[in-house]
Structure 1
Amino acid sequence: MRLHRLELEGFGPFRDRQVVDFDAYEGDGIFLITGRTGAGKSSVLDGVCFALYGSAPRYDGAEKRLRSDHCAPEDPTRVSVEFTVGDRRWKVTRSPEYQRPKKRGEGFTTLAPDAHLDEYVEGEWIGRQRGPRNVALELDEIVGLSQQQFLQVILLAQNRFAEFLLAKND
């Protein structure tokens, strides 16, 4: 799996849309995500994990905290990641459950979690799956790793380092 692009909006510390272009570092082979405490480094990794699996390791059991505290009620929350597996390019976009103002009347309405999976074919994005469950099932086949395997092999979360050190070889 190769990551190409990550877009975060209303996610973690990021109210406004932020874009990470991983392809810009393609020639480097390896790169470091660095910055001051609280700059959003871990949130970039959380975004990748949330887009692929619908949850983020730092927020186990508290996905409602994924929405940025800086968001106004009408601001959207979504994460999108583009990646390649084999010779196929994919984009998954997810939104967690959150509340937004009602379109008519007073108060708020709860938006359900949402997910879209698209494939890049001959210069355009083609929708392949929609809905968190359908996207998750399709991504299981595409990525070939469960979230736990992904977090052990690809993306070692900050709060899981001790678990990694104590893991058995199976």
Structure 2
Amino acid sequence: MNNKIEIIKTTSENADFGNLITALDASLWERYPELKTNYWGNNVIELNPNVVIVYFDNNAVACGCFKKYDKNTIELKRMFVSPEARGLGLAKKIILELELWAHELGFSCSILETLYKQKEAIGLYQKVGYTIIDNYEPYIGLENSICMQKQI
């Protein structure tokens, strides 16, 4: 069986990105129902020109994006791999693609926030070079947040 993986760069206006984000939000609220009101505002995606989508056999199965945090730093956002596509190394491919894209645009640092129950995600981020840092705005004081950083 020949499974084809394709990674595309696009924008947040891509319908497949919208569908993946809907699935991501549903999975987060299922895992953290108590946090929905605290975090909902941080998950609004304004028009974003820096989106990556992974297609597996022509189906959109994973995504991620970044936004500018400051003149040297990007923030990884909306990382998601559909349950049926997990274990294929797609999240790592997305992270590396986003970091390369940001580096080409002149950024030298990447930050991200994830939630404490996301053990697989935290492990993956550490595996690709991220270290845990003090929470940055808007996550300061939110104990459920784990913030991480990497030079790119």
TM-score range, shorter chain: 0.3 to 0.5
Structure showing greater radius of gyration is 1
For normalisation by structure 1, the TM-score amounts to 0.31
For normalisation by structure 2, the TM-score amounts to 0.33
